[in-house]
Amino acid sequence: MADYGIAAPHGPDMSGRHPSMVNPHFSMNEDEARVFSQLLKPDDSYDENGVYWADLGWFKRAKFVAKTDGAEGKRELGNLWQMIKKDPLSPVSFYFRNMVLPGAGLGLEGYVLFSIGNLKPLFQKGFPSCWGTKAGQGEACSPTWLAAIEYMEIVGIIFGQIGVGIVGDWLGRRWGLIQDATIMFLGLSMWGVTLNGWIICYVWALFFYGVGVGGEYPMTATSGMENAVGSGKISTKEDRLHRGRKVTSAFLMQGWGQFFNQVILILLLLIFHHGSGNPSYSKIAVQWTFRVSFAIPAVGTLWLVYYRTYKMRSASRQLQLQKKKSNVTGYDTQSLKMTFTHFGGRVLATAGAWFMNDVFFYGNKLFQSEFISVVTSNSTSIMPGWLYNLINVGVSLCGYYLASFLIDNKLYGRKNMQTVGFMMDFILFVIPAFNLEYYTSAAHIKEFQTMYFLSSFFNQFGPNSVTFLTAAEVYPTAVRATAHGFSAAVGKLGALTAAVLYNYIDTQTKFYVVPWFGLAGVVLSVVFLPDTTGLDLKEQERRWAFIRAGRGHEYHGVAVNPKHLSLWERMRGLGKQYDPELDYAQRVQEMRAEWEVLMQDKVDEKAGALDQADWDDLDHEFSHEVQEYFKKTSKSPALAGQERQAPLNGQGLDDSDGTIDEKRAV
């Protein structure tokens, strides 16, 4: 049968603007245009005149977004109310299923990873012969190994992000998710005969755990994003309106991990220190507090291994379909090479901005005890510092949730959120940097605290959430995990920079150094980051199919709308390819090609009949009106007058050779 795939993208012209593209055997009247508009111009992205939302003037765009978001909000509230009436606890189970479980790995990662900054002052108080008042001053432990605690885990994370990212694109998302959970579980075991031996074991355990942590980033981002898309060719409303929220809601579990770690440490210290949080702290109390706090995530991680093994069997479906479409069986090295060729500016944006962000983020978290000590300088107890950190994490969680609420808003969205967040962090650090003594004085300490907490808020309601999303979103499915892992690894080099540098400079110098990374993040965001807010993810895949076929200049869809391109890409002229009317004609032709492939399966002697899943996908992709239209204008006489043929005895076809699935993926 003829190949109706991307090799022949041009279809009928509904406007008459491109006579050379017109199919002489095909025309479309107003009723036919209405049929296709249902699928090709959904009302959440196009106004009543069929104009894409990004092509509207600012006032009309604001009105359209308010109307669309208002209707969607009303629908979701209505669904919530129906759930509550049926079962008052059902919203809790819904949130747990759709937000908590997808981000469970990051929650456990946040719990363990940021425990280092929380435990450091406790170890210093409980083991002065090892830690001393500052790491490295004790006589019982090696200063080199003590310093390694704070950066070896980051090195492990970098290994995991790159390695597991490649595995996720090679073997699949599900395998990467299982591997991550297993590695993290094994990495939570540590012991030692002497204090220094325990420190060495602690370092290597955190390194090994970090490998699993690193893999969580690309696996959680890609699997969460692709699960929101659906299995068909036509994208879903959920993807267009809530893709960012879905991914960010999983990512914010990292914040809850930090929160619960701090709460549990406070409770455990009170339990094992006879109900008091005041010094002096016995070695037994410190050890029990530390050990039990690490046993809790070990149990959770073991359960995560089970859940991902037996409950996430379809996590790799989107990747498998894309590989079949591209006729790739292993790792798609061609797509990787072409990604750096065609999306080099995006790599610079996602990796560079993540580097700048992590100097802020990990600098604060790994060394938060030093920052908070400025406002608790008169206390010898670790409790005030822990309580201040708990407030700081609570403020960060507010930033996470506000980010998930606004990240899909077409008037604000990803790019603005990241740019504003970087700018606010720059301002909130540069103000005290040049007058730190003034702001840390007793008369102005409240202003200093406010700026510190606000910097945490805007870090989450900005670059920390956006970098996690866009590092997967702006790349094709075939190399999405690799690109995300690479960007995250470059980001962790920023964390490593902070971990090493902050060991040698005082608090005042930290404030001199940090602000400029925020300003650099603003520049990278403005120049190189495309704004994918409201962009259909499958439309990006469609553009990538043209690029991979060496015909990127023939793509004219919304993925090259100037709104969805970076300043760098617009300067290179990519936005000039955008032509909504010609693209509409192309999409109709592509829909026809896919429909005819499915219909040909129906009459093909080898196939015989499609299974129920194939027919369900067909009904989802093409409305009854569209199917009737294609029947009337079909190019294949063999399809004329054919009626739907249900599977025999409820059984589908034997597709062991992948024939049907391969055709569906074309």
- pLDDT tens-place string over residues 580-611: 999 998 888 888 777 777 777 665 544 445 55
Average confidence (pLDDT) over 541-561: 93
3-state DSSP call for residue 535?
coil
Per-residue pLDDT band at 657 (split at 50, 70, 90): very low
Cα distances (angstroms) measured from residue 435 to each of 90, 364, 510, 599: 52, 19, 13, 73
pLDDT at residue number 30: 66
- On the 0-12 / 13-18 / 19+ scale of CB atoms within 10 A, 44 is middle
pLDDT at 365: 59
Residue 129 is predicted with a pLDDT of 82
Please give the average per-residue pLDDT across 488-498, as a whole number.
Answer: 89
Q: What is the rounded distance in angstroms from the CA atom of residue 652 to the CA atom of residue 656?
A: 11
Position 285 pLDDT exceeds 50: yes
DSSP 521: H
- pLDDT exceeds cutoff 90 at 291: no
pLDDT number for residue 295: 87
The pLDDT of residue 509 is 84
- Is the predicted pLDDT of residue 351 greater than 90, yes or no? yes
Instruction: Give the position of tokens 């946040």.
Output: 110
* Three-point CA angle 556, 558, 564, nearest 5°: 120
Spatial separation of the C-alpha atoms in residues 492 and 490, rounded to whole Å: 5
| Confidence check: pLDDT of 252 > 60 | yes
Asked if pLDDT for residue 440 goes beyond 90, the answer is no
pLDDT exceeds 50 at position 7: no
pLDDT tens-digit profile of 107-154?
888 888 888 878 888 888 888 888 765 544 556 788 888 888 877 888
List, for residues 325-335, the tens digit of each pLDDT value: 666 667 888 88
Q: What architecture is the 96-502+513-528 domain classified under in CATH?
A: Up-down Bundle (1.20)
Contact 531, 414 (CB under 8 A): yes
**What pLDDT, on a 0 to 100 scale, did the predictor assign at position 392?**
87
Residue 181 predicted with pLDDT over 60: yes
> CA triplet 557, 558, 560: central angle to 5 degrees?
85
Provide the pLDDT for residue 651: 32
- Cα separation, 536 vs 229, in Å, equals 9
**Confidence band, pLDDT 50/70/90 cuts, at residue 79:** very high
Comparing 224 with 642, the larger pLDDT belongs to 224
| Whether pLDDT at 218 is above 90 | no
CA angle 524, 527, 532 (to 5 degrees): 95
CB 309 within 8 A of CB 168: no
Q: 321 with 666: CB under 8 angstroms?
A: no
Residue 547 has pLDDT above 90, yes or no: yes
**What's the mean pLDDT when you consider all of the chain?**
80
474-487 pLDDT, tens digit per residue, is 998 888 989 999 99
Cβ-contact 298, 188 below 8 angstroms: yes
Q: Above pLDDT 90, what percent of the chain? A: 33
Fill in the DSSP letter of residue 58.
Answer: H
Please give the Cα distance from 308 to 212 (Å, whole number).
14
Q: In angstroms, rounded to a whole number, what is the distance separating the alpha carbons of residues 612 and 599?
A: 14
Measured CA to CA in angstroms, residue 361 lies from 198, 425, 438, 518 at distances of 28, 10, 24, 11
Q: Which residue has the higher pLDDT, 186 or 88?
A: 88
More confident residue, 142 or 629: 142
| Neighbouring-strand partners of residue 642 | none
pTM: 0.82
CA distance 382 to 289: 13
> What pLDDT does 572 receive?
93
Residues of the chain with CATH 1.20.1250.20: 96-502+513-528
For position 22, what pLDDT does the model report? 38
* Span 19-27, average pLDDT: 40
Residue 56 pLDDT: 95
Tell me the DSSP string of 482-498: HHHHHHHHHHHHHHHHH
pLDDT at position 622 is 67
Amino acid at 387: L
Phi, psi of 595 (to 5 degrees): -60, -40
Instruction: For residue range 193-213, list pLDDT tens digits in order.
Output: 678 888 888 888 888 888 888
Task: Specify the pLDDT at position 190.
Answer: 64
- pLDDT surpassing 80 at residue 565: yes
Dihedrals phi, psi of 52, to nearest 5 degrees: -65, 140
The per-residue pLDDT for range 43-71, each reduced to its tens digit, is: 999 999 999 999 999 999 999 999 999 99
Q: Between 179 and 562, whose confidence is greater?
A: 562
Structure confidence at residue 180 (pLDDT): 80
- Give the model's pLDDT for residue 405: 94
Lowest mean pLDDT across 135-149, 159-173, 443-457, 618-632 = 618-632
* Nearest-10 Cα torsion for 642, 643, 644, 645: -80
Over 70: is that where the pLDDT of 275 sits? Answer: yes
Report the pLDDT value the prediction gives residue 413, as an integer from 0 to 100.
92
Determine the average pLDDT of the residues in 376-395: 82
- Residue 193: per-residue pLDDT: 67
User: Per residue, what are the HEC states of 222-257?
Assistant: HHHHHHCCCCCCCCCHHHHHHHHHHHHHHHCHHHHH
pLDDT of residue 654: 37
| Cβ-contact 438, 378 below 8 angstroms | no
How much is the pLDDT for 605?
47
Instruction: Work out the percent of the chain whose per-residue pLDDT is above 70.
Output: 77
pLDDT, residue 269, reads 92
Query: Residue 457 — very low, low, confident or very high, per pLDDT cuts 50/70/90?
Result: very high
